[in-house]
Amino acid sequence: MANSDTRATLRYHQQTKHSYHSVRFGSHTLDWANRPEPFKIYSDVDRIPLPDQWQESELPALAALLPPDSPAPPQSVPDLEDLARLLYCCAGITKRKPYPGGDILFRAASCTGALYEIELYVVCGDLNGLPAGVYHFNPRDFVLERLRSGDFRGLLAAAAGREPGLSRAPVTIVSTGTYWRNSWKYRARTYRHFGWDNGTILANLFAMSRALGVPHRLVLGFADQEINNLLGLDTDREVALSLAAVGRCREEAPGAHPPLDPLLARTGGSSPGEVDYPDMREMHAATLIGSGEESSAWRGSIRRQAEAGKGKRYPLSPLARNEIPTEPLEPVVRRRGSSRRFTPAPISFQAFSTLLYYSAQELPADFLEPGDGLLNDWYVTANAVEGLPSGAYWLDRDRWELELLHQGSFRRKMGYLGLEQDLPAEASFDVFFMAELEPVLERFGNRGYRALQLEAGLLGGRLYLSAYAQRLGATGLTFYDDDVTAFFSPHARGKSAIFLMALGKGKRRELVSLG
C-alpha cells in the first residue's frame, strides 16, 4: 500500500522547506497574465439558488468553538436554509477590495494568497427544500450546481469503511483541492496549503454547525478514487481532501445508490497556461487509501505523552462561558479578515488566555479520540501580553498552563522566522503549530501528513474566529522551517513546524462588506 511508504512524506517535507537561502535564490516570479480564475463554474447543469436571508443564530461566537453541552439528538437534519448558512459562513463571499484590474472577492474563511483553491461539494439525502443528490457549491453566484440526482450517501459510507458519524449523516460536505490555483504562487508547497486552507474553512463550518445545534465530524479515512469518481474530478488537477459529516439520522444511509455514470458537465478553463509541479501530485498519490476496509483500519489516534519540563508555569485565565461576548457567529465571520498590520499595544492576559483556550479544544475527527489530545503542539511567543513576561512558551493542554522555555524580547526573531515579514514581529503574540512527524507517519502512514496540516489549519481557523470575536486581529503565515525548530529547542527538538498564526490588535483595512 503506497500510504505505508513514508519516505515520500519525509522527502516532500524536506524539499518544500523554506530557508534563508531558498527564498533569496529562488527564481520564481508571478505571471499575473496567467493568474488562475478563483471560481469553478459548471455549465449545462441545474442551478439551485440558496436562500440569502435568515435569522442569525443566538449562540455566542466563542461558545460555538466549545464542545456541545449535551449529546446530539438521534435525529438532526438540516434544511436548505441551514445548508445555505453553513456554506456561506465557511466559503461565502463577505467582502470585496477594489484593485486597478478589478475587485478581489474575499470569502468567509482565510486562504493563502486569497487564491481560494478549495472547492466544496455537497452529497445529501432528501432535505427540506433540496432533493437528494451531489452538488457543487458556487460561491460567486451563491447557488448549488446539481451534478448527480439521487442518494449517493451509501457510496460515501462504503468508501469511508462505514464510519459511524458519516454513515448516519444526512449531509456530507466534500472538500477538494485544485493544484494550479494555489501553485501559481506557492509552487509545490501548495500541498501543505491544501491542509491549511481546508482547515480554516472547516473551522467556520463546524462553528456554524455548532451554532445551529447540528452535530458534525471530520473524516479523513476514505477511499480516494471512489470520492473522486463520484465528483467526476480530473485528478491531475483536482483531488478530494476531506469529508465533513453534518447532522444525524436515526438510520444509516442506504447501501444501494444510483448508477455512477460519467459526468458530462463542463467547466471553464482556470488560466491560459497551467504549470505542473509534479512533487505535490506525487505527494498526494503517496497518501491514497484504496478501499473501505483500508479506511476502517486507518482510523484511530495517537495517545500523547505529557512533555512537562522544569520551566516556570503560567495558568491560563480565560473568560468563563457566562462572561464571553454575546455577539453571534455570523457578524464575526463577516468582520473577519487577515490583518496586514498590528498596533504595538498589548492585549490583556485574559483575552490572550481566551484565544488559546477556546481555540485549542479537542476536534471531532476520525484520527483523534477524546482524551488523546491533538497531533500538533502549541508553541507561543508572547511579545506584548499584559502580565506575561515576553518570551517563548509551550502550551500544556492537559493543565491549560504555559511553560516558559526562553525569556526575552523576540520581536525581531519572530519577524525573521515568519519569512522576514513585519506581521509576526508586530503581533502581540505568535502561535507555531509543531509536530513530530515520525510517530504520526508510523501510525497513519503518509495520510498522517494530510491530517497534521489539516488539523493545524483548523486550529488556526479557530484562532481567527476567537480573535475577531474579541475585536482583535489575526493572520496566518509561512516560515523558515528549520529555524523555527531551532528557536524552540531543546523542547521542540525533532519536531517540524506546520503552521504559524500571528495575533494582536489589528489596524483597519479598506474592505467593503457584502454581508
- Pseudo-torsion of CA 483, 426, 118, 509, nearest 10°? -160
Three-state DSSP at 345 gives coil
**What CA–CA distance (Å, rounded) separates 505 from 472?**
5
* Residue 180 covered by a domain: yes
Three-state SS for 380-428 is: EEECCECCCCCEEEEEECCCCEEEEEEECCCHHHHHHHCCCCCHHHHCC
Q: How far lies 98's CA from each of 104, 105, 180, 331, 512, in Å?
A: 6, 9, 24, 22, 9
Both 236 and 191 in a single domain? yes
Q: Which three cell numbers stand for residue 491?
A: 523542547
* Residue 304 covered by a domain: no
Q: Which three cell numbers stand for residue 277?
A: 509541479
Both 261 and 339 in a single domain? no
pLDDT at 179: 96
Task: Please determine, for residue 170, whether its predicted confidence score (pLDDT) is greater than 70.
Answer: yes
Task: Please determine, for residue 513, whether its predicted confidence score (pLDDT) is greater than 50.
Answer: no
Q: How far lies 380's CA from each of 248, 392, 405, 406, in Å?
A: 37, 6, 10, 11
**What CA–CA distance (Å, rounded) separates 237 from 406?**
44
* Residue 46 covered by a domain: yes
pLDDT digits (tens, 9 = 90+) for 356-374: 999 999 999 999 998 899 9
Q: How confident is the model at residue 33 (pLDDT cuts 50, 70, 90)?
A: confident
**What CA–CA distance (Å, rounded) separates 313 from 299?**
35
Both 321 and 289 in a single domain? no
Both 148 and 256 in a single domain? yes
* Residue 41 covered by a domain: yes
* Residue 246 covered by a domain: yes
Both 256 and 164 in a single domain? yes
pLDDT digits (tens, 9 = 90+) for 287-333: 999 999 999 999 999 887 667 678 999 999 999 999 999 999 999 99
Share of the chain above pLDDT 90, in %: 85
pLDDT at 514: 41
CATH of the domain at 461: 3.40.109.10
The total of other beta-carbon atoms located within 10 Å of residue 447's CB is: 26
Pick from 304, 286, 284: nearest CA to 367: 304
Q: At what angle do helices 179-186 and 278-285 cross, to 10 degrees?
A: 130
Q: How many helices and strands in the chain, by DSSP H and E?
A: 17, 19
Q: Which of the listed residues 240, 267, 298 is the one where a domain comes to its end?
A: 298
Identify the residue with better confidence: 507 or 501. 501
Q: Which three cell numbers stand for residue 384?
A: 506584548
Q: Which of the listed residues 268, 298, 328 is the one where a domain comes to its end?
A: 298
Both 219 and 367 in a single domain? no
Both 293 and 195 in a single domain? yes
Helices (H), 259-336: 278-285, 292-298, 329-335
Both 358 and 389 in a single domain? yes
**What CA–CA distance (Å, rounded) separates 450 from 241?**
8
DSSP letter (8 states) at residue 382: E
Pick from 346, 333, 383, 357: nearest CA to 459: 357
CB 429 within 8 A of CB 169: no
CB 415 within 8 A of CB 425: yes
Whole-model pTM? 0.96
Average pLDDT value for the chain = 94
Q: Which of the listed residues 270, 298, 326 is the one where a domain comes to its end?
A: 298
pLDDT at 306: 65
Task: Please determine, for residue 166, whether its predicted confidence score (pLDDT) is greater than 70.
Answer: yes
Question: Could you tell me the residue range of the domain that residue 444 belongs to?
Answer: 313-513
Three-state DSSP at 166 gives helix
- Domain count within the chain: 2
Both 279 and 392 in a single domain? no
CB 501 within 8 A of CB 477: yes
pLDDT digits (tens, 9 = 90+) for 405-444: 999 999 999 999 999 999 999 999 999 999 999 999 999 9
**What CA–CA distance (Å, rounded) separates 450 from 437?**
11
Instruction: Tell me whether the omega of the peptide bond preceding residue 490 falls within 30 degrees of 0, making it cis.
Output: yes
